[in-house]
Structure 1
């Protein structure tokens, strides 16, 4: 399932390949970094439809018709140059169905991927043991495949973030919370434990308490996020 109206069209002034393409974004729409999109293109021989799924990794706007950087002042302050605003985005393809590595065609409509298309684009539909990983910018839940965490297919998690503001520590704790409160442990849940080495003062001694910032004003908002991930607060 995709959004009802196209967010834009495959750009015709830059090359499109099976692995990446550009979008001419509708001036009245919003497309952001990390948004997930879907494109359907007709095979040149008429042999069917190929679907492309991808993630936006670059967005930009610029004046079309301006020649020099200082022309910006003539447009913005004096309005004496006729220009258009170009709103474009670059997409990195994540999945092609069926796997026929053809490029999308210029002018093909581009839609935001939602529902089953979103799951297909990010391979959530092929995960045998999904666990909630958080909330994406588009408001949907994201998932990890637990089989690549528990040692069955892999056993490594790399968390990056800004040092000193508890981004990595907090997310590691959330990930443990997700593992212990989702169905993936099955019969192993009773005997599965986590060992945390505390090197950051006494904060981690209160993991069984609600966060102090979990006040009345944010309570419902936070509750909605956890409900979306089907996790207890």
Structure 2
């Protein structure tokens, strides 16, 4: 049985004071939730501070992105080796905001997935469709294309070293949430697609849902057979909300 994972993506939010308070609340509230894996992904500059706060706990640490290069003249980039040196366990790759705002292409995401694996980081591969794509009936084609870029570069077996996060772009930060069945349908499609290539990989890989998950809807979402937890945005900035989501996955 796949363990549930709840990962908080703080995006461009946080300060020393707010992170100290947030992590204090999360660490205190996780007592007894031993069946759910938990991770937080702060902005780069707060990774060392967050590492110090979670040391000795079972909370994993992740980055919100990763360079597809190892080193060199790439101003503003952060490599997998650097992230690993500061205790990161995960790296988000291909988030819809990286794709939409910064023009990241499927091939870029695939190279970042490979870079994370190279340095022993677990990539959280984000896939998902826009509202226009959903209304056009091409959700599965879009998600398949995004997955295929990684599979073509790394092979389907590489996905067991990572996590997949389905995030319908139209439900991120909008307050809209895919219904549990809508989310399940896409998760089942992803798992079914992988099963045609490697049944063992399909059975093992965690597929998270990301799209306005809250304490109030987490249990219903996580009850779906192919939803293995959540990639949490806004609700991960509130200790009580985040803990309620973790509890739903416990």
Question: TM-score if structure 1 supplies the norm length?
Answer: 0.24
Which structure dedicates a bigger proportion of its chain to helix? Answer: 2
Question: TM-score if structure 2 supplies the norm length?
Answer: 0.23
